[in-house]
Amino acid sequence: MTAQEIHDLLKERFGDAVTAAKLENVPDPFAVVAADRVRDIALFCRDDERLRFDYLMCLSGVDYKGKFGVTYHLHSLTHRHKFVLKVEVPADAPNVPSVESVWRTADWHEREAFDLYGIVFTGHPDLRRILLPYDWEGHPLRKDYQVPEFYNGMRVPY
């Protein structure tokens, strides 16, 4: 299916939950969807016969200054088409439903986004830090991150 058809299908099924889209003149066509519906949309994307997005290539957190984003790169091994979903959440309440139950690969990607951005994936079974030490404070990939001076008595800036 083309990006336009995929978008139209999502729009038809989820209506206002698909808030924006850019399908032409971009390297990867994408649709912005409502954060609170992302799990339902992901499930539909995976299970609908026409879409069959069985493979989550990548899940990335982004800091858009003032709000956080999560980008889902979807791919279908069955139909060999791609699509990108994006969600945006306010920085003071960065909660996104987890898609771990849809694609198990999202487990570690979501833990990484939680670790480095502090985005909370609600419904994730085991949301703890993955790359940083468990007692690290702060989320380093945030644009306003300040490197702490000490970590457990050790000087951090070198």
- 44 DSSP 8-state letter: H
Residues 29-48 interacting with other proteins (rule: CB under 8 A) = none
Can you tell me whether residue 113 is helix, strand or coil? helix
Residues contacting residue 87 through CB under 8 Å, at least 6 positions apart:
32, 33, 34, 35, 38, 69, 70, 96
Rule CB under 8 A: is residue 110 a binding residue for other proteins?
no
Rule CB under 8 A: is residue 62 a binding residue for other proteins?
yes
Rule CB under 8 A: is residue 155 a binding residue for other proteins?
no
**Per-residue tokens: 144:** 């306003």
Residue 12: phi and psi, rounded to 5, are -65, -40
Nearer to other proteins, 41 or 76 (CB): 76
Rule CB under 8 A: is residue 77 a binding residue for other proteins?
yes
Binding site residues, other proteins, CB under 8 A: 26-28, 54-58, 60-63, 71, 73, 77, 80, 84, 103-105, 107-109, 116, 129-133, 140-141
